[in-house]
Amino acid sequence: MQAFQEGLPPPPPVAHSWRRMDKWAEEHYEELFEELGEGCTSNDLNDLEHQLDCSLPMDVRESLQFHDGQEVGGRPTGMIFGCMLLDCEEIVHEWRNWKTVNEEYLNAPSTYKPSTPATALGGSSSASSSRKPQQPQNPMWRQDLLAKQDSQPPGAIQKVYAHPRWIPLARDWGGNNLAVDLAPGPTGKWGQVILFGRDYDCKYVVSRSWASFLATVADDLNSGKWFIEEDTNELKLREFKTSHVEPGYLDILRWRSDQKYGRRGPRRRPQNGSAKGAGSPTGSPYDSPVAE
C-alpha cells in the first residue's frame, strides 16, 4: 500500500491524468490537441537533467515522456488554460534566463548593467528580446526587492526572487512560470509546484507535486466550466459565477492557494499598471495579496 502524504492519498498516475486531458482536447479543442508534442526518450531526459544539473522528480520525467511540451507560438496559446507547456529545450531556455537574472542582475555590483533576460521584464522571450532593460534608480533597489519576497504558505518557498532549483515547466506570456521546486523552504516539500515570476513577489505553492497538479488540470478541463475566448482562442476557466470576472488560470491558482492557506491582507495596487493579461481586475473576488 502507498503511504498517505499529509493525510492525502497519492495523486493519480501521470499517464491517467494525461489521457483524461488528451481525451478532452481531442473532443473539444482538436487544434490544441494537435499542438501537443510526442513524448521524449529516456536519453532526452538524462540530457535535460545534465543541463539543469539536477535530478527531476519521477512524475516530471513521466509527464515529459508522455508529452514533451507543445508547439511554440501561434494560436491557441497554451494547454494549461493559456499557459504554454514547455518541452525539454524550452525548459532549459527558461531556466537559463532566470539563472542569468540571479547571477548577472541580482548578484552583480550595483554599477553593473547586464542585458536582462526578457523573462524578468515580462512577456515571452521572442516578444521582448529587443527591449532594453530599465535600470533601477534607487541604490537600495536590491534590498527593497528581496524584502518584498514572501511565500504562501509561509516558510514553504525560499524568500528569493528566483532560484536555480526552480525548474519551469509552463509559462504564461507575462514573465510568470509554473515550476517544480527542488529547493523548498523549511516547511515546503521537495517537488512541490510553485508559481513565481515577474508579477509574483509572493510565491505560491499551487500543488504538492506535478502529478497532483496535472490531476487538478484534468479535473478543471472536465468540470464543464471551461470556455474559449473568441478574440484570442485562449482556453480559459470560469471559476466564479459572476460573468464579468474572468481571471487567467495563474490568478485562479493563486486565489485557491489563498483560500487554502488563509489570506494575507489587502493587496497593494500596482503604481504603474501591469502588462496586458496579467494581474487582477479591480474588485475581483480572487484579488490576492502580495508582500508589502
Closest CA relative to residue 177, chosen from 84, 288, 277, 275: 84
The cell numbers describing 40, all together, are: 521524449
The cell numbers describing 37, all together, are: 508534442
Q: What is the pLDDT of residues 1-35, one digit of tens each?
A: 445 556 678 999 999 999 999 999 999 999 999 99
Find out whether 148 and 161 touch, Cβ atoms under 8 Å.
no
pLDDT at residue 106 in the model: 67
Q: Which residue has the cell 521584464?
A: 121
H or E stretch covering 41: none
Q: Is 27 exposed, middle or buried (0-12, 13-18, 19+ CB in 10 A)?
A: exposed
pLDDT at residue 114 in the model: 42
Q: How many Å separate Cα 120 from the centre of its chain?
A: 13
User: How far lies 170's CA from each of 87, 186, 264, in Å?
Assistant: 9, 25, 26
Low-confidence ranges of the chain (pLDDT < 70): 1-7, 73-74, 105-139, 242-245, 264-292
Q: What is the pLDDT of residues 80-106, one digit of tens each?
A: 999 999 999 999 999 999 998 888 766
Q: Distance between CA 178 and CA 129 in Å, rounded? A: 21
Q: Distance between CA 205 and CA 157 in Å, rounded? A: 8
Q: Distance between CA 175 and CA 121 in Å, rounded? A: 7
Strands 200-207 and 192-197, bridge-based pairing: antiparallel
The cell numbers describing 245, all together, are: 470576472
In this structure, what are the phi and psi dihedrals at residue 97, rounded to the nearest 5 degrees?
-55, -50
Q: Distance between CA 210 and CA 57 in Å, rounded? A: 8
Q: Is 226 exposed, middle or buried (0-12, 13-18, 19+ CB in 10 A)?
A: middle
pLDDT at residue 143 in the model: 81
What global pTM score does this model have?
0.81
Find out whether 226 and 220 touch, Cβ atoms under 8 Å.
yes
